[in-house]
């Protein structure tokens, strides 16, 4: 069964080191809380708000040992007026037997406001 694992994090500035670091933190937390390995992941979609342009957050996934061959795609989030800014969202498509209600969705550094009902992160 393929399940979606959601996550999001914000950055303070549109700077490459901060974007990569924040994305790596988020993805590692998603991996840890869902006990995932790279071979379980079919693909990862990463969206960013229109105020993030300094780099591709997908670079962060390449920093994680063993995750080189996981397909990753970056895209822009819809610029809805009043929406959370400087936000990186991740959607992992994961092969798992875990039931949907037990998937750990991770929202960090201000992104908790997006889905407080889904945020199961042990780290905030």
Q: What is the CATH number of the domain that holds 20?
A: 3.30.1330.40
Residue 115 has pLDDT above 80, yes or no: no
Evaluate whether residue 106 is within a structural domain.
Answer: yes
Segments in the chain forming alpha helices (H): 16-34, 59-62
Mean pLDDT of the region 15-38: 96
Q: Which residue has the higher pLDDT, 123 or 53?
A: 53
Residue 37 in any domain: the answer is: yes
Residue 108 within any structural domain of the chain? yes
Average pLDDT of the chain?
A: 91
Residues 6+ apart with CB under 8 A from 3: 93, 94, 96, 98, 100, 103
Domain membership of residue 88 (yes or no) is: yes
DSSP annotation string for 14-28: --HHHHHHHHHHHHH
Is the predicted pLDDT of residue 86 greater than 70, yes or no?
A: yes
pLDDT given at position 120: 64
Domain housing 11: 2-114
Model confidence at 18: pLDDT above 60: yes
Residue 78 lies in a domain: yes
Q: What pTM value is reported for the model?
A: 0.91
Query: Is residue 31 included in any domain, yes or no?
Result: yes
How many domains, in total, are found in the chain? 1
User: Does the residue 15 lie in any domain?
Assistant: yes
Rounded to whole angstroms, the Cα distance separating 86 from 43 reads 23
Catalytic residue annotation: 6, 62, 74, 77, 89, 107, 115
- pLDDT at residue number 104: 94
* Within-domain flag for 123: no
């Amino acid at each position: 069964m393929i399940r979606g694992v959601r996550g999001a994090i914000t950055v303070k500035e549109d700077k490459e080191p901060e974007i990569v670091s924040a994305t790596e933190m988020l993805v590692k937390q998603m991996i840890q809380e869902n006990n995932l390995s790279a071979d379980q992941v079919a693909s990862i979609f990463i969206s960013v708000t229109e105020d993030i342009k300094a780099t591709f957050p997908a670079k962060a996934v390449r920093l994680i040992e063993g995750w080189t061959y996981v397909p990753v795609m970056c895209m822009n989030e819809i610029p809805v007026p009043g929406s959370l800014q400087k936000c990186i969202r991740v959607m992992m498509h994961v092969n798992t037997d875990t039931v949907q209600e037990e998937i750990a969705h991770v929202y960090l550094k201000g992104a908790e406001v997006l889905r407080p009902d889904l945020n199961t992160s042990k780290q905030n």
